[in-house]
Amino acid sequence: MSAVTSPARQASSGVSAKTINRIVIYGLLALFALFYLMPLFVMLVTSFKTMDEIQNGNMLALPQSPTIEPWFKAWGETCVGLTCAGIKGYFWNSIKMVVPAVLISTLLGALNGYVLTKWRFRGHTLVFAMMLFACFIPFQSVLLPMATILGSIGRFGASLRNATGFNFGLGNSTVNLVFVHVVYGLGFTTLFFRNYYEAFPTELIKAAQVDGASFFQIFRRIMLPNSMPIFVVTVIYQFTNIWNDFLFASAYAGTGDVMPMTVALNNVVNTSTGVVEYNVNMAAAMIAALPTLIVYVVAGRYFVRGLMAGAVKG
Amino acid sequence: MAFLEIDGLKKRFGNVEILKGINVELEKGGFLVLVGPSGCGKSTLLNTIAGLENITEGEIRVEGRAINDLHPSKRDIAMVFQSYALYPNMTVAGNIAFGMEMRGVPAAERQAAIDKVAKILQIGHLLQRKPSQLSGGQRQRVAMGRALVRDPKLFLFDEPLSNLDAKLRVDMRIEIKRLHATTGTTIVYVTHDQIEAMTLATKIAVMRDGEVQQFGTPAEVYNNPTNVFVADFMGSPAMNLIPAKIGANGSELSVVLDREARQPITLSLTGAPAGLAAFKDKQVIFGVRPEALTDPEGAERNGSEIATADCHIEVVEPAGSDTFAVTNLGGKGVVARLRADARIQPGTSTPLAFNLSKAVFFDPATEKRIL
């Protein structure tokens, strides 16, 4: 706006331009929000409808006689392949896989970040660059080599069982998946923690050294308690990735009782016993999505804060 | 045998020599200040004493025992860091007790030690707070408390006051001096502030480029600087270093100061250092501190060598306690320190008294003191 226009005109045109801007921005935001929320809405309403209503009614209509029956059925009765005991077993499979995988990969990432920033050794940048490179390796390219490795681990577990009567979890599908996800997630968790610790004041470590704290005492007493934001970020990131993973799960635990939730959900939807129970499928999908949703709701605040903190300063 | 001895200490990073053979000694209960511009190696030297950095050559001894291969926690030292380095997740009490906790001191003993230190530093009411809830001065106190509680042989301070504002810095400086006087501990203190060095130290090591330029008491370093760097670095306002020529009138030497568009000033020297004779008719650097260049009424009455000369005053800076006047000698602005109520006008010619017994001479080629 040029400086010679009269103040009155300046004000009026300023206000109208601003209002139009606002309308366009909020209109677009609302449109995008609608676009993203629509599938969720359809899933949610469908999961509370009876089959009659789904077959005869409108997809977007609210349920006429809401029922929670499909949720119970999805949880406890629906057929996954040939067994009809619901998805609850597979849900726990996923939990059993996700919790250790997330915790181990996050803690190892924190330890890596600690060493790469505070206990530097010759070639630390090279090591970090190689770990970064792990972030860019596509899932597909590790499928076969990983299968070979898991096979060897399984054989080793079998010979352990022959020798000691116990295989120490080696060869177990859940353990395999935990291993795969820890290895694959390490690049990301290391990246997060290294960048966070890079800005972490080194004088604190020196002070702790003078105070007589050991390598792990410093890690546990000084580093970890001051890493809450990046810890939350890493946990959310890893939890979402591992919980939602389908490729590794279907490749290494794709059949039987050991399937994680994602694979089981796929099987629920693909199992055809006459009529397709959309309400049960939708309820199952909602149950499958719930944990990540809860993690975001509970820790989302920290997620944004942590991303900022990690990016700008410790 | 001194309490702390640093003997031929060298430190290299690859091919770069950071510390080039440091020799320093400190008696028990002494206060050694390492002072120098940034990058001179003073913090590195402190870190090697603390054991946070390895040394390449030489030895560090405390009470005759070499400590250079010991882990920091085994050296019986305590350190106060520039950023205070308080653990943000612990309370003040937790911070102070962390070292004892690491060494497995029982809880009751820890509490007693915390209470004792809190009383000395008057931080009793802060013990349950987190560092983020403290002001700069309070954090500084807690950091000192963490060091004090260990009752170590040696205290190391790494620029502890540089994060404080000017007034608080003066207060804490006095606090540290009082603490040193009452506890009688041995302290090594790093700073780039020469006033801190002068006021606190019993011994000063002026450093540049990894070498000790001069090591001595504050008075020695201030009055008898060994080279131009030390003379220029210590003192505020800095010593006037004036290019001058040595003249002679028979056997008596004199110093000749050029002036722009005026007659040069010639000051005869009665007590000239012996080495100065060799510089007859040659250029030297004539060093005179602002307080040795003053108005005749303010000059030391019983000074043995007072010479007065008319100088053209260019700028007058009243500073309250003193008045500083700038004149031009030998092509450089020269600062004179006058009494606060000295009658002086810029643009006029005023007699100034040179206290030549306090003057020093340097060889312009080597920048070393002419003795």
| Complete domains list, chain B, with CATH | 4-233 (3.40.50.300), 240-362 (2.40.50.140)
The ipTM value here is 0.80
Q: Is A213 on the interface with B (CB under 8 A)?
A: yes
- Can the peptide bond before residue B237 be classed as cis, meaning omega within 30 degrees of 0? yes
What is the torsional sign of CA B118, B121, B126, B128?
A: negative
Angle, CA B177 vertex, CA B179 and CA B34 arms, to 5°: 115
The pLDDT of residue A33 is 95
pLDDT at B27 over 60: yes
Q: Average pLDDT over chain A, rounded to whole?
A: 86
Q: Mean per-residue pLDDT for B296-317?
A: 82
Q: Do A207 and B79 touch (CB under 8 A)?
A: yes
Residue B254: strand, helix, or coil: strand
Q: How much of chain A, in percent, has pLDDT values that exceed 90?
A: 44
Query: Which chain B residue's Cα is nearest to A208?
Result: B99
Residue B216: strand, helix, or coil: strand
Q: Is A151 on the interface with B (CB under 8 A)?
A: no
Residue B342: band (very low, low, confident or very high) from pLDDT cuts 50, 70, 90: confident
Q: Do A203 and B73 touch (CB under 8 A)?
A: no
CB-closest option in A203, A210, A221 to B72: A210
As a whole number of angstroms, the distance between CA B91 and CA B82 comes to 19
Q: Do A211 and B77 touch (CB under 8 A)?
A: no
**Distances in Å between the alpha carbon of A56 and those of A52, A105, B10, B346?**
6, 49, 88, 102
CB-closest option in A209, A225, A226 to B73: A209
Query: B285: closest CA among B217, B230, B208?
Result: B230
As a whole number of angstroms, the distance between CA B227 and CA B363 comes to 9
Q: Is A58 exposed, middle or buried (0-12, 13-18, 19+ CB in 10 A)?
A: exposed
Q: Is B163 on the interface with A (CB under 8 A)?
A: no
Name every chain B residue with its beta carbon within 8 A of the beta carbon of A203. Answer: 81-83, 85
CB B205 within 8 A of CB B63: no
The Cβ of residue B166 has, within 10 Å, a number of other Cβ atoms equal to: 7
As a whole number of angstroms, the distance between CA B75 and CA B186 comes to 14
Q: Where are the domains of chain A?
A: 7-47, 73-312
Look up residue B145 and give its two tokens.
């408390």
In this predicted model, what pLDDT tens digit does every residue of A225-257 receive, in sequence order?
988 888 988 998 999 999 999 999 999 988 888
Query: B210: closest CA among B337, B84, B40, B76?
Result: B40
Q: Is B266 on the interface with A (CB under 8 A)?
A: no
Q: Do A213 and B79 touch (CB under 8 A)?
A: no
Q: Mean per-residue pLDDT for A98-110?
A: 96
Query: B32: closest CA among B274, B256, B202?
Result: B202
As a whole number of angstroms, the distance between CA B79 and CA B182 comes to 19
Q: Mean per-residue pLDDT for A188-210?
A: 92
Q: Average pLDDT over chain B, rounded to whole?
A: 90
Residue B85 to chain A, least CA–CA distance (Å): 5
As a whole number of angstroms, the distance between CA A176 and CA A249 comes to 10
Query: Which chain A residue's Cα is nearest to B70?
Result: A210
Q: Which H or E run contains B59?
A: strand B57-62
**Distances in Å between the alpha carbon of B284 and those of B246, B257, B351?**
7, 10, 24
The pLDDT of residue B263 is 83
Q: Say which range, A246-250, B94-98, B121-125, B261-265, has the weakest mean pLDDT.
A: B261-265
* Chain centroid to CA B316: 28
Query: Higher-confidence residue: A101 or A86?
Result: A101
pLDDT at B198 over 80: yes
Q: Mean per-residue pLDDT for B77-100?
A: 92
Query: Which chain B residue's Cα is nearest to A214?
Result: B102
CB-closest option in B52, B73, B82 to A211: B73
Name the CATH superfamily for A73-312.
MetI-like (1.10.3720.10)
In this predicted model, what pLDDT tens digit does every residue of A267-280 receive, in sequence order?
888 876 677 888 88
pLDDT at B367 over 60: yes
As a whole number of angstroms, the distance between CA A204 and CA A207 comes to 5
pLDDT at A2 over 60: no
Query: B304: closest CA among B231, B354, B251, B369?
Result: B354
Q: Mean per-residue pLDDT for B240-257?
A: 88
pLDDT at A209 over 70: yes
